[in-house]
Structure 1
Amino acid sequence: MLSLNKSKIYRWSRRIAGGLLVLTIIFWAACHAFVPSLLKKTVAEYGQKIGYEITYQDLSLSPLRLRMTLEGLRLAEEGGDQLLDLKKLTIDLKWTKLILGEVGLDAVLLDEPKLLVEKKPNIKGKTANLWNWQKLFGAIEKSLSPKDDAKENAKQVAPLKISVDQFEVSGASLRLVDASTKLKEELKPFSIKLLDVANYDQKGLVSGVRGQYDFNLGSLQLAIPGLNKTIAFNHVAIGGSLSNPSPNLLGAQLDLKLDEGKILSHWDLNTASKLFEGKVKLENLKAGPWIALLPANKELMAKSGEINAELLIKLSSQSNSISGSAQLNKVSVLEKGEKTPLIDWDLADIRQFEYKTVGAGPKPATNLVIDEVVLEHPILRFEINAQGLSNFRRLFSKAAEEDSVGSQATQSAPESKKGAFGLDIRSVNLKSGEVFFADMAMKPNFHVDVKKFNASFIGVSNTPGRFASVAMEGVVANSGSMRAKGQTSFDDPRRNHDIFMSFKNLPLTTFNPAVMTYAGYQITGGKLNLNLSYRAKDGQLNGSNQIIIKNVQLGDEVEGFQGKKLPLGLAIALLEDSDDIIDVSVKIAGDVDSPEFSASGLVWQAIANVLTNVTTAPFRALASILGMGSDEGVNAVPGEAVFLPDDQERLEKFGQFLVKRPNSNMEIIGTYDLVQDKLAMARVKADTAILKDAGFKLQAGEPVPSPSLSDPRIQSGLKVAYAQYIGRIKLGQRLLMVPDGEARNEQLHNELIAGIDVADAELKTLAKTRAQLAFEIMVKENPGLKDRITIGEVKTVEAGKNGIPLDMELRIK
């Protein structure tokens, strides 16, 4: 039996320990003396092989701790730019993982890495340009020995498990350069931190990547390609984790911090169905950086504003969708350099929306469905500058040449669509809004405010043929009120709508700049009511504008006025009734697709024409502004002292008009057309004779009807009248030479009319009779007007489409 005493055990223990120590020293010395230089030489040779310079200043190994420290690493293309400059790299391996046949890293630490990501322009005769790192990976791939697929399949080696407990980058910088797009961006300093990263799941199956990560990017300023805009944040950090809950499902938690705001999201990728889903939550995200990205011609800034939202995102090969709800709080948008906001609001609440695209290709079908949009206390600044451009058109319109081309395309084909986009909003509500309007083109400048503005739109859709209900109300110029209701097609609201708007108790002095600019007078007092009715169908607009003015007070003329001065003083005196009220109706019509179309321009032109016609064509002017349905005034039947019922009604209304205006007098002027009336009067004489000789009784005050030459009684009367005016001998010749029938009757009738002579004195008498008849109609119900209406000298006029226009002059007592 072998026995060992304590002294022998002690002695052998010292020998074994000493041997292990010697081996450790030898291994440590070899690692420090030979491995660094050998590795440095190998790395340099490999770099030359692939066409790159790979160098470092120092390499230290700690075999017992399984640590490698590399300092001053530099990677550059031979004779080219540097791709990577790394101050220090530290790698710690784990004994426990190595024993199990895994690559386990306790820590990977990178200190102040500097990366260059660059794409240079194509060189003539060479292949397409690549990013510098793409070229590096391509060179590495070429240097590798080609794989033998048969051998690889025969080996069937289990996949290698790799894990990293901590991966950390500190003080990093990144330069991104693309000469073809003139892109030059630099991100520095930023940090990255990844925890518990592995390529296998909790069950040990190698199926992907999992782990936790934390990126601290510091300040970020990034140019957005194609927009020529820059987005900037003072502090950016990214955190989250990766997971593999099942073989076909990859999960990622992505938490992004942008200054004081957060974007929290969880993403799932189903590798079998290729469905990518994400749940995104925005918390207190500042609106400023995103407002700056709006495609405006002048930089926009957000003075304040936060975005909160909960979104569900689904991406697949067939369709993509974003749904959820969003709120934009306390948003205030300004033009750079301005002190007053362009637009702001307390809350914009977008409830239950879905934006969806279906189909592939360059023009997929897209639609936006929103349950409700609520905008609380919106404030809008709308200005027209000295050149006549609104601030919104100036900010968002395209270049002049592009705009003109686009407008021509739109006008020539208003039915064309830019793309298959569907819009459907159940309701839009604006609460307690304000609008500040200013027109700097007027001198002095025109300002009017609308406050307590509420509006609702029900059933907003751009589907052709569908109309949305519209209702609005507000307070105008602090004392007036505004109400509107109707419907409009959001497919093309300019071309299809039916809207009624009512303005009450507006102070006239508010519109003083417009009156001074276009009429050459000042307004010192008065109130204005407007009832506006506009209806457009397929681009054809018909509008009615009822203007009611109370207690208007006309001020001084504008000194040095260059425009066409309107006779406002006379117009007011003539139009204002005994209650100091002017009630005027102006109708307009036009084609909204016309390049020259302007609704406001048509209204003002119509008003200007009416006011001008008050002195030049009073009947026509009054007929228009009193809403009598004619712009031709009062017209007599050619050749007769007869007024049709519509013209008789207008004359009665003119009488009522004078009754309410005791300071006005009227002179009626009889008129005749030297050509038309002479021809018509000859016909009237001929037809009157024919009808009387035929036994027909004519009604006084009624137009002489054209006789029916097929009636035997008319034929008999025609012969009698012919014999009276032309002669019996001529009649006998015609009866013998021309066969009996319709042609002979027509010939006799025409010869009868041509044979009747009408003297100028008869035409003047006709004109006086017309004036006398108009006088009688006007004073019939208002005898008190006999002293205020006179009959003047007759004059010649040109006949219009509605007859012979009667003339008059209005005077002020």
Structure 2
Amino acid sequence: MLPLKNPKIQKWSLRIAGAFICLTVLFWGAYHLFVPGFVQKAAAQYGEKLGYEIAYQDIRLSPLRLQIEIDGLHLAKEGGSKLVEFKRLLINLKWTKLVLGEIGFDEIILDEPKLLLEKRVNKKQGAIPNGWNWQEFIHALQKNLPPKDPNQAQKPLKISVDEFLVSGATLDLVDEASKLKEALKPFSIKLLDVANYDQNGLVSGVRGQYDFNLGSLQLLIPGVNKTLAFNHVSLAGGLDNPSSNILGVQLDLKLDEGKILSHWDLNTASKALEGKVKIENIATAPMIAFLPANKELVGNSGLLNAELVVKLTHEADIYSGNAQIANLAILEKGEKTPLVTWDSADIRQFEYKISNKAGSQSTSLVMDEVIVEHPALCFEINAQGLSNFRRLFSKPKSDDSPNTDGVAVTQDQPASQTKSLFDLDIRSVNLRSGEVFFTDLAMKPNFKVDVKKFNATFLGVSNAPGRFASIAMDGVVANSGSMRAKGQASFDDPRRNHDILMSFKNLPLTTFNPAVMTYAGYQITGGNLNLNLNYRAKNGQLNGSNQIIIKNVQLGDEVPDFQGKKLPLGLAIALLEDSDDTIDVTIRIAGNVDSPQFSASGLVWQAITNVLTNVATAPFRALAFILGMGGDEGVNAVLGEAVFLPEDQERLEKFGEYLVKRPNSTLEIIGTYDPVKDKQELARVKADSAILKDAGFKLQEGEPVPLPSLSDPRVQSGLKAAYAQYIGRIKLGQRLLMLPDGEARNEQLHSELIAGIEISDAELKTLAKNRAQNAYAMMLKENPSLKDRIAVGEVKPVEAGKEGVPLDVELRIK
């Protein structure tokens, strides 16, 4: 071994070291002098080949450290906007990875990158939208790649990044077709230990850890023109490959004070995606504005918690689990009183499924149980008579309908004749200790009533045709009354198919003063109300029964300057109230709910109005309706006679029984006659009575005089006798000689006999008086105690109807 102190060795060592230093300096100088320019020129040429501009301000290279640092890099389409630009890009490669034939990055740092995601409209081709700008760039890259040799085996390239950092980033999203223009800024991204191969070195996907700090988020959602906003948004998690065909992703999203923790597994072979999602304290307020309402809704509280399982496959998408929304409050924008609130709503064991089979899509929602604790609902009818829920959620009549007052114009939708593509099945729904605040601003003064301690249960809720859900409800109305309901309804179309029985007990009448003052013109100072309502609808045909029981009603003063149709409440109370100070009336309605003009409440109110009006103008008609006897024409006498048919006789007797129990009313019966029709029929009655008596027939008292059969020889003999009595024997002899014997002669003699009988006004008035006396006797027949409460008044002429001559009465308060 040569000693190191040997002069020759030292000399050659110095020469070699000097040469190495010189070569290093030359290499370093050449690298910094020529390589940056070469790289810049190559980038510009490649960009020109792609049709893009690739440029930067400065580049710094550290070959020994394998570090590249670029300032002011940007990529832009020629003549267009910049797709991306960076303030600074720093890349550090790893020697150890390159030696093994891999591409390994120690770190990649992006300072203040600006990314543009843009879709422009081609105005030269009729405003047809182009593709996204990055799609065009990727297409340009693929177009300029060298062709692959199909016979050459392609060994997958391993790529790894120890740390990927993005700070101060900006994303601009522009879509001219949907007029979308949004900016996400500033946000940061952190990725750790990212690689495209698993722990065994097999290239099969991507793994690693990441952290996105997006800062505040305000994103305009296209189509609804509403903004989703959060003050602080961050995303963290990791990537893994548990098996060769599975790519796993952990997504931990923070939205203000809430979290969405999820893990997703993608099967790269079947393309099926499965995930487990846990939602913790996500604020519902930012999402309330997206409810499909005609006026913007605002949420000022509410937290969502849920545990979900998601399965997305080619055949179906399934979302299942449990969810809870706590402390929810929804308001109309600009209003102070919440529209809906609740303490908590638990949705247990639900499954929402979207099926994609045979080229058609169908959806289904199955829930085991829904429990809502202390819900509160504000139901308001405005001055125009439109409810707040119909105003908010009903479908507009047309897209271009003028709407100057901010209220949606609604239309009635016809019943669906086709099976719904959405299937609903809920085992039970429970509302516990709720409240309903009802206000009707159309009434003056405004009508307000509250329902508290409201509980409701719905069992077997389904929209399948033919299936009915059981319903049970109860609550406290106006602080002292009670409400109960039970029955069933088909949720396929509950308006057209249901059977519901509702009862209200001990409701204070003063609560309904605004309605009575608005529609009847009176105040109520006392009394209680019970209601028994039974509504049945089958395939749209509704039959309803409304039993109204009023106890101890106290009528107050008339409303001053009342503009409506004042109803005779005083008379009605006297007629309807029994000896126990109770009014018991049943109002029945019927109709087709599919009719555009149908309104159940309108029919009930119209029926009540008719009864109250008829109390003063046609009491018999009102009583017939109340007692359920029909007969819209009231009580009618037979034309020309003081006789009532059996149906009217029964009404008169029942009216007497009814008045016995109404001690506060008196009745005056007014006999009536029709000056024209009664005159004609009375002559006929006189003629036929004479004919039948002369023929030997005995007439039944109280029965209508029948038409004689002119083919009967006895009747023919009676006809001749009556003709001789009223017309004369000479005239009779002339007719018998001049007219041939037969049916025609008998009919002519009959007609001449009727025409020859003169009826005076006195006879008509006597007829009317006899009618009143007969009605009086029938009403007292089983109830002689009414003798002092029923009187016979003066007669008057009327016009006969199709049922006969209507008997008139006047009702008075005792």
Q: CA deviation at 1:28?
A: 3.8
SS at match of 1:124: helix
Alignment of 1:259-270 (within 5 A): 259-270=256-267
Q: CA deviation at 1:620?
A: 1.0
2:727: which partner in 1?
none
2:448: which partner in 1?
447
Contact 2:682 2:759 in 1 (8 A): no
Between the aligned residues of both structures, percent identity stands at 68
Q: CA deviation at 1:703?
A: 5.1
Can you list the C-alpha shifts for 1:14-59, whole angstroms capped at 9, x where unaligned? 8877776665555444433332232122223333333433222222
1:563: which partner in 2?
564
Contact 2:283 2:302 in 1 (8 A): yes
CA distance in 2, matches of 1:580, 1:444: 28
Residues 1:351 and 2:352 are matched in the alignment: no
Q: CA deviation at 1:615?
A: 1.5
Q: CA deviation at 1:771?
A: 1.7
CA distance in 1, matches of 2:615, 2:423: 51
Can you list the C-alpha shifts for 1:3-24, whole angstroms capped at 9, x where unaligned? 5556579968888777766655
2:480: which partner in 1?
479
1:91: which partner in 2?
91
2:387: which partner in 1?
390
1:64: which partner in 2?
64
Contact 2:521 2:559 in 1 (8 A): yes
What is the letter of the counterpart of residue 791 of structure 1? V
Q: CA deviation at 1:306?
A: 0.9
SS at match of 2:771: helix
1:722 counterpart (704, 719, 724): 719
Can you list the C-alpha shifts for 1:767-787, whole angstroms capped at 9, x where unaligned? 323222221222233222212
Can you list the C-alpha shifts for 1:338-357, whole angstroms capped at 9, x where unaligned? 22111011111222222223
Q: CA deviation at 1:380?
A: 0.6
Contact 1:165 1:197 in 2 (8 A): yes
Contact 1:107 1:164 in 2 (8 A): yes
1:771: which partner in 2?
772
Moved more, 674-683 or 175-184: 674-683
1:339 counterpart (329, 336, 341): 336
Contact 1:113 1:172 in 2 (8 A): yes
Q: CA deviation at 1:286?
A: 0.9
SS at match of 1:577: coil
Can you list the C-alpha shifts for 1:127-170, whole angstroms capped at 9, x where unaligned? 8523333333344344444x1x4xx1232131111111221211
CA distance in 2, matches of 1:734, 1:16: 169
Residues 1:132 and 2:139 are matched in the alignment: no
CA distance in 2, matches of 1:520, 1:335: 34
Q: CA deviation at 1:596?
A: 2.6
Moved more, 759-768 or 383-392: 759-768
2:318 counterpart (304, 321, 344): 321
Contact 1:325 1:350 in 2 (8 A): yes
RMSD: 3.4
Residues 1:166 and 2:158 are matched in the alignment: no
Contact 1:210 1:242 in 2 (8 A): yes
Q: CA deviation at 1:471?
A: 1.7
Contact 1:488 1:497 in 2 (8 A): yes
SS at match of 2:123: coil
CA distance in 1, matches of 2:46, 2:3: 58
What is the letter of the counterpart of residue 237 of structure 2? G
Moved more, 791-800 or 615-624: 791-800
| Residues 322 and 600 (structure 1), Cα distance of their counterparts in 2 relative to 1, 3 Å cut | same
Can you list the C-alpha shifts for 1:114-138, whole angstroms capped at 9, x where unaligned? 1222222213159852333333334
Can you list the C-alpha shifts for 1:368-393, whole angstroms capped at 9, x where unaligned? 22222222111011112222222222
CA distance in 1, matches of 2:340, 2:542: 31
Moved more, 390-399 or 359-368: 359-368
What is the letter of the counterpart of residue 355 of structure 2? V
CA distance in 1, matches of 2:401, 2:175: 34
Contact 2:300 2:330 in 1 (8 A): yes
| Residues 201 and 645 (structure 1), Cα distance of their counterparts in 2 relative to 1, 3 Å cut | farther
2:545: which partner in 1?
544
CA distance in 1, matches of 2:248, 2:364: 29
SS at match of 2:151: helix
1:509: which partner in 2?
510
What is the letter of the counterpart of residue 504 of structure 2? F
Moved more, 483-492 or 784-793: 483-492
Contact 2:640 2:680 in 1 (8 A): yes
Q: CA deviation at 1:716?
A: 4.8
Q: What is the TM-score with the length of structure 1 in the denominator?
A: 0.89
2:42: which partner in 1?
42
| Residues 162 and 655 (structure 1), Cα distance of their counterparts in 2 relative to 1, 3 Å cut | same
Can you list the C-alpha shifts for 1:474-494, whole angstroms capped at 9, x where unaligned? 111111111122222222222
SS at match of 2:141: helix
1:222 counterpart (219, 230, 246): 219
Residues 1:299 and 2:300 are matched in the alignment: no
Moved more, 783-792 or 355-364: 355-364
SS at match of 1:33: helix
Contact 1:59 1:70 in 2 (8 A): yes
CA distance in 2, matches of 1:620, 1:753: 37
Alignment of 1:15-26 (within 5 A): 24-26=24-26
Residues 1:600 and 2:601 are matched in the alignment: yes
SS at match of 2:337: coil
Q: CA deviation at 1:651?
A: 2.3
Contact 1:448 1:510 in 2 (8 A): yes
Moved more, 287-296 or 519-528: 519-528
What is the letter of the counterpart of residue 553 of structure 1? Q
1:80: which partner in 2?
80
Contact 1:236 1:259 in 2 (8 A): yes
CA distance in 1, matches of 2:315, 2:756: 87
2:728: which partner in 1?
none
CA distance in 2, matches of 1:230, 1:749: 95
Q: What is the TM-score with the length of structure 2 in the denominator?
A: 0.89
CA distance in 1, matches of 2:223, 2:353: 24
CA distance in 2, matches of 1:519, 1:616: 16
CA distance in 2, matches of 1:697, 1:202: 120
1:290: which partner in 2?
287
| Residues 62 and 748 (structure 1), Cα distance of their counterparts in 2 relative to 1, 3 Å cut | same
Alignment of 1:514-663 (within 5 A): 514-663=515-664
| Residues 575 and 157 (structure 1), Cα distance of their counterparts in 2 relative to 1, 3 Å cut | closer
Contact 2:53 2:78 in 1 (8 A): yes
Contact 1:487 1:497 in 2 (8 A): yes
CA distance in 2, matches of 1:121, 1:789: 89
| Residues 721 and 418 (structure 1), Cα distance of their counterparts in 2 relative to 1, 3 Å cut | same
CA distance in 1, matches of 2:378, 2:28: 77
What is the letter of the counterpart of residue 382 of structure 1? F
CA distance in 2, matches of 1:589, 1:602: 8
Q: CA deviation at 1:186?
A: 0.6
Can you list the C-alpha shifts for 1:710-746, whole angstroms capped at 9, x where unaligned? xxxx9354334334334687998899754xxxx8899
CA distance in 2, matches of 1:153, 1:693: 127
Figure out how many residues of one structure are paired with residues of the other and give that number. Answer: 798
Contact 1:397 1:403 in 2 (8 A): no
Structure 1 unmatched ranges of 5 or more: none
CA distance in 2, matches of 1:571, 1:409: 38
Contact 2:692 2:718 in 1 (8 A): no
Contact 2:433 2:455 in 1 (8 A): yes
Can you list the C-alpha shifts for 1:258-292, whole angstroms capped at 9, x where unaligned? 11122222223333333333322222111111111
Moved more, 267-276 or 218-227: 267-276
SS at match of 2:633: coil
Contact 1:354 1:369 in 2 (8 A): yes
1:153 counterpart (141, 150, 154): 150
| Residues 342 and 666 (structure 1), Cα distance of their counterparts in 2 relative to 1, 3 Å cut | same
What is the letter of the counterpart of residue 648 of structure 1? Q
Structure 2 unmatched ranges of 5 or more: 403-407, 725-731
1:31: which partner in 2?
31
Moved more, 193-202 or 430-439: 193-202
SS at match of 1:657: helix
